[in-house]
Amino acid sequence: MQSSPLTPGDPAAARADGGRTGRVPRAEREQQMLDAAVLVFSRRGFHHANMDEIAELSGVSKPMVYAYLGTKEELFIACLRRESARLVSGLAAAADPTLPPDQQLWRGLKGFFEFVGAHRDGWSVLYRQARTQQPFSAEISRMREAVVEVITDRLDGALRQEGRQVKPDDLTAMALTLVGASESLADWLADHPDEDPGRTATRLMNAVWLGADQLMRGSTWRPPTP
Amino acid sequence: MQSSPLTPGDPAAARADGGRTGRVPRAEREQQMLDAAVLVFSRRGFHHANMDEIAELSGVSKPMVYAYLGTKEELFIACLRRESARLVSGLAAAADPTLPPDQQLWRGLKGFFEFVGAHRDGWSVLYRQARTQQPFSAEISRMREAVVEVITDRLDGALRQEGRQVKPDDLTAMALTLVGASESLADWLADHPDEDPGRTATRLMNAVWLGADQLMRGSTWRPPTP
Amino acid sequence: MQSSPLTPGDPAAARADGGRTGRVPRAEREQQMLDAAVLVFSRRGFHHANMDEIAELSGVSKPMVYAYLGTKEELFIACLRRESARLVSGLAAAADPTLPPDQQLWRGLKGFFEFVGAHRDGWSVLYRQARTQQPFSAEISRMREAVVEVITDRLDGALRQEGRQVKPDDLTAMALTLVGASESLADWLADHPDEDPGRTATRLMNAVWLGADQLMRGSTWRPPTP
Amino acid sequence: MQSSPLTPGDPAAARADGGRTGRVPRAEREQQMLDAAVLVFSRRGFHHANMDEIAELSGVSKPMVYAYLGTKEELFIACLRRESARLVSGLAAAADPTLPPDQQLWRGLKGFFEFVGAHRDGWSVLYRQARTQQPFSAEISRMREAVVEVITDRLDGALRQEGRQVKPDDLTAMALTLVGASESLADWLADHPDEDPGRTATRLMNAVWLGADQLMRGSTWRPPTP
DNA sequence: TATGAATGAGAGTTCATTCAT
DNA sequence: TATGAATGAACTCTCATTCAT
């Protein structure tokens, strides 16, 4: 199991700062470090990632990384937070609560898959790891629960508008289905570079909005023409 | 990151063999080792698991573990294989291909969640880990693909019988949705000890068979009364 | 650095006894073990050789090896002794003390290189190892000194017959030269499978009997036509 | 197999740096490490040497050794290279190609034995080990071949100047004889602390330049009076 | 005679983390 | 702000050797 440098050739060129050296303001340095860390954690996995490589890729010495972003675990969590913040802000913008539920769902899914597609080796890899590596499960659970809650709220809201109601646990199950299915297809998307994120979102809409039964009867859900 | 013995107190009582000592035939010892390994890997995670603990819990010294089951990675894979073989044989028995598709699906899901419920800290934990720890992804991908293929085949078969047809990629998406949603709910089940596996299966049926749309219109899918 | 079995394929066929099993008289078993040990020690080196492989190749379980031939070190020494006894008895027969000195030398060298050529991966490899591995240096020194002494005695005898005398240290130096040069060329021979041992002996005769000076003046020593 | 500290008593006094502690620049530390490693490898042999002892003797903890000079094998090769570079540069200076061949040979041998005498427990011990320990044979073969080639070239050059010629294989045999005999006598020298390197060189000149025949006839080669 | 089961002891290697400058 | 030098602590894996049968 050999491990090769993430970027071959000239080490200066490999640095995330493009070789830039010397005094750099803290905020900027931190971003460079996070960039490097996301890259290394994604490629190697949390445990096989080593701080030396992250430091080198940031164009800084190890003590700087510790000084700015703390221990390895804290660094990983910082990565997770930055990436998830990016995702969440994207989704929030996409899924306008005033839209009808299928439109909300569609936009949310589309936003999600587009994000995943654009960060193929960043977000989803970190996320998957975090879900199973013990010290991060708490962090991740919180994120996941937040998402599940948003979804149940939106579904519930839509139902109430029509005077209907569904038992909370069923709503939760629906939300978990959505989240799980999305994760599953996100993995698939990450492995199929030619697949268009929008198409993936459509597929999932078909599956979860119509349901297998309808789907098998020949119904098809189509994205609204923009 | 605390690390306490898996079972406190008398180390003899902690052993997976219930304290039995001395010479044990190979086949039996191997099972004890796998039991111990599944336990330790699940609780600690692959990387935090250490071979000493697994050995001690098997009632044997470390070299025996290496002699019988190879390196740590090989041991993990052996665990994975044993557990997944148990699962697969259960599922195959449950989902009789002559049944109508919703019945097949229902039985498959029920079998799956019952298995997961019965091995709350075995199978699903190993499985989740394997999906993200690099050296095992190949093994896991193979398992997952096998499952996805079975599902698509069954769906396809059911469709053909009715003279219908769906594009392969859509079938795959459906299967991935099922698998992902199942994994997601399996996690939830593992975290909710009071939840009945059958109910979890029902919830998922509602979500994926009927679809969110139907569900929101008030339709409900009900398991057949036995 | 992978290590592959010394003989591939069917393990039964790999055994030095040709697959023969069951009760075998002690003397015969010991020879099988020594055969196996010589092979393994030569190929792997003393330290990388492991008792499991030797036992397996002997067609016996490890405890038998220990019972018959003792510890790993003792086993190695037993190999060394058996092989060197074979060599010495060959040489003693070859170099008849009544012959003129160059004839003795020639026959001795020829005998030596023929032996080495015939045991390309036995004797010389063991011997080389033993010279540098600490616990065996004593054993080896004794062997080497015995050879050096024989040579000096023979040279001295020949000189006395002609009423001449050479200082002991010079005789020793000559003998050491012969031994060292022989070892050196033996290695070379081991690496050149097509080279004829007799030719190697001739080359060495030219070098050490005539000397570089004579050689460069065009003199040549020729082996006697038999 | 006893194993006692290389230098008894105060561990600080045992350090190759004479007790100097604290921060030391890399270049210097590396030399200390190599010094320590040469000592330990020579005394204990490659396999019985252990990295802890080398580290301690360098006045540093193990990880520093790994950081600067790599694995045990790489460290050994580094020792070999440093020592052989020292030797080669010495020899090259000694054996001026414009001199007559016996002068070249004499100077080369003298230089070699003086080097060996001065590093009695360094070079020759490492070298001997390397020849038999598998992973180093490549490195050693290269060194040896380089030496053999230099010798054959020089002999060949001398011959051509006199309009003479000798078959390549015979030249090689001559060179191998020289090298082998030198190695053999170097060992002897290492075991006889009172022997003067110059005398050893003279003995070998007698043996290989004049040849046993001449030697026995009473001829003697004498080193030039300086 | 013969062996499967078992182990104590130790070695190399890696890494997160921190001083001293 | 920045870093080269340094380490404690683990952990995987191997092997010669011996019981118990």
Task: Report the length, in residues, of chain B.
Answer: 226
Alpha carbons D143 and D124: distance in angstroms, whole number? 13
Is the pLDDT assigned to residue A23 strictly greater than 80? no
Percent of chain C with pLDDT over 90: 23
Phi, psi of A96 (to 5 degrees): -65, 120
HEC profile of chain B: CCCCCCCCCCHHHHCCCCCCCCCCCHHHHHHHHHHHHHHHHHHHCCCCCCHHHHHHHHCCCHHHHHHHHCCHHHHHHHHHHHHHHHHHHHHHHHCCCCCCHHHHHHHHHHHHHHHHHHCCCCHHHHHHHHHHCHHHHHHHHHHHHHHHHHHHHHHHHHHHHCCCCCCHHHHHHHHHHHHHHHHHHHHHHHHCCCCCHHHHHHHHHHHHHHHHHHHHHCCCCCCCCC
Alpha carbons A55 and B7: distance in angstroms, whole number? 40
What pLDDT, on a 0 to 100 scale, did the predictor assign at position C2?
45
Is the pLDDT assigned to residue C32 strictly greater than 70? yes
Q: How confident is the model at residue A79 (pLDDT cuts 50, 70, 90)?
A: very high
Chain A 59..98 CB hits on strand E (< 7 A): 62-63, 66, 71-73
Percent of chain A with pLDDT over 70: 84
What pLDDT, on a 0 to 100 scale, did the predictor assign at position D96?
80
Residues of D in contact with C124 (CB under 8 A): none
Is the pLDDT assigned to residue A51 strictly greater than 70? yes
What pLDDT, on a 0 to 100 scale, did the predictor assign at position A1?
43
Task: Give the domain D79-216 fold.
Answer: Tetracycline Repressor; domain 2 (1.10.357)
Picking from C182, C111, C102, the residue whose alpha carbon sits closest to that of residue C148 is C182
pLDDT average, residue stretch C4-31: 65
What pLDDT, on a 0 to 100 scale, did the predictor assign at position D60?
94
Of B105, B172, B188, the CB nearest to A176: B188
Is the pLDDT assigned to residue C1 strictly greater than 50? no
Which one-letter DSSP state was computed for residue A10?
Answer: -
D222 CA, E15 C1': Å apart: 62
Cβ pair A180:B181 closer than 8 A: yes
A31 CB below 7 A from strand F atoms: no
Chain D 45..64 CB hits on strand E (< 7 A): 49-52, 62-63
Is the pLDDT assigned to residue C15 strictly greater than 60? no
Read off the tokens for A110. Answer: 């589309």
pLDDT average, residue stretch A141-164: 83
Picking from B127, B102, B108, the residue whose alpha carbon sits closest to that of residue B187 is B127
CATH superfamily of A76-217: Tetracycline Repressor, domain 2 (1.10.357.10)
Q: Which of the two residues, A3 and B47, has the higher pLDDT score?
A: B47
Q: Which of the two residues, D60 and C24, has the higher pLDDT score?
A: D60
Tell me the nt nearest to A75, Cα to C1': E16
Is the pLDDT assigned to residue C177 strictly greater than 90? no
Closest-CA distance, B102 to chain A, in angstroms, reads 8
Percent of chain A with pLDDT over 90: 23
CATH superfamily of C74-217: Tetracycline Repressor, domain 2 (1.10.357.10)
C67 CB below 7 A from strand E atoms: yes
Mean pLDDT of chain C: 81
Chain F bases closer than 7 angstroms to a protein Cβ: 1-21
Chain B 50..69 CB hits on strand E (< 7 A): 60-64, 67
pLDDT average, residue stretch A157-181: 81
- pLDDT, averaged per 10 consecutive residues of chain B (226 residues), comes to 54 49 88 95 91 95 96 95 85 78 85 84 82 81 84 83 77 84 82 84 84 68 66
Cβ pair B216:A166 closer than 8 A: yes
Alpha carbons B183 and A179: distance in angstroms, whole number? 10
Cβ pair B210:A213 closer than 8 A: yes
Is the pLDDT assigned to residue D9 strictly greater than 70? no
Of C129, C159, C207, the CB nearest to D216: C159
Most confident by average pLDDT, A133-137, A207-211, D79-83, D169-173: D79-83
Interval C113-126: pLDDT, tens:
888 888 767 777 88
Q: Do chains A and B touch (3 or more CB pairs under 8 A)?
A: yes
Rg for chain A (alpha carbons), in Å?
Answer: 20
Chain A 9..68 CB hits on strand E (< 7 A): 48-52, 62-63, 66
Closest-CA distance, D2 to chain C, in angstroms, reads 10
* Closest chain B residue to the Cα of A105, Cα to Cα: B212
Alpha carbons C107 and C91: distance in angstroms, whole number? 8
Cβ pair D215:C174 closer than 8 A: yes
Half-sphere exposure (Cβ direction) of A218: Cα atoms closer than 13 Å:
5
3-class DSSP assignment, residue A4: coil
Cβ pair B102:A213 closer than 8 A: yes
A173 CB below 7 A from strand F atoms: no
Chain E bases closer than 7 angstroms to a protein Cβ: 1-21
Alpha carbons C125 and C200: distance in angstroms, whole number? 18
B62 CA, E8 C1': Å apart: 11
Q: Provide CB contacts within 8 A for D16, sequence distance 6+.
A: D32, D35, D36, D39, D57, D58, D59
Interval B161-210: pLDDT, tens:
877 777 787 788 888 888 888 888 887 787 777 888 888 888 888 888 88
Q: Which of the two residues, B215 and C86, has the higher pLDDT score?
A: C86
C71 CB below 7 A from strand F atoms: yes
Question: DSSP states of A49-110 as a string?
Answer: --HHHHHHHHTS-HHHHHHHH-SHHHHHHHHHHHHHHHHHHHHHHHS-TTS-HHHHHHHHHH
**CATH for B77-217, among 3.50.50.60, 1.10.3720.10, 3.90.1150.10, 1.10.357.10?**
1.10.357.10
D226 CB below 7 A from strand F atoms: no
Is the pLDDT assigned to residue A125 strictly greater than 90? no
B134 CB below 7 A from strand E atoms: no
Chain D 9..48 CB hits on strand E (< 7 A): 22-23
Q: Do chains A and C touch (3 or more CB pairs under 8 A)?
A: no
CATH superfamily of A12-70: Homeodomain-like (1.10.10.60)
pLDDT average, residue stretch C138-156: 84
Of A101, A177, A182, the CB nearest to B204: A177
Q: How confident is the model at residue D195 (pLDDT cuts 50, 70, 90)?
A: confident
C69 CB below 7 A from strand E atoms: no
pLDDT average, residue stretch A119-136: 80
Are the C-beta atoms of B201 and B224 separated by less than 8 Å? no
pLDDT average, residue stretch A143-164: 83
Chain B 13..52 CB hits on strand F (< 7 A): 22-23, 48-52
HEC profile of chain C: CCCCCCCCCCHHHHCCCCCCCCCCCHHHHHHHHHHHHHHHHHHHCCCCCCHHHHHHHHCCCHHHHHHHHCCHHHHHHHHHHHHHHHHHHHHHHHCCCCCCHHHHHHHHHHHHHHHHHHCCCCHHHHHHHHHHCHHHHHHHHHHHHHHHHHHHHHHHHHHHHCCCCCCHHHHHHHHHHHHHHHHHHHHHHHHCCCCCHHHHHHHHHHHHHHHHHHHHHCCCCCCCCC
Give the domain ranges of chain C: 11-70, 74-217
Task: Give the domain C11-70 fold.
Answer: Arc Repressor Mutant, subunit A (1.10.10)
Residues of C in contact with D3 (CB under 8 A): none
What pLDDT, on a 0 to 100 scale, did the predictor assign at position B70?
95
Interval C150-164: pLDDT, tens:
888 888 887 788 777
CB pairs under 8 A between A and B: 163
What pLDDT, on a 0 to 100 scale, did the predictor assign at position B63?
95
A172 CA, E17 C1': Å apart: 43
B159 CA, E14 C1': Å apart: 55
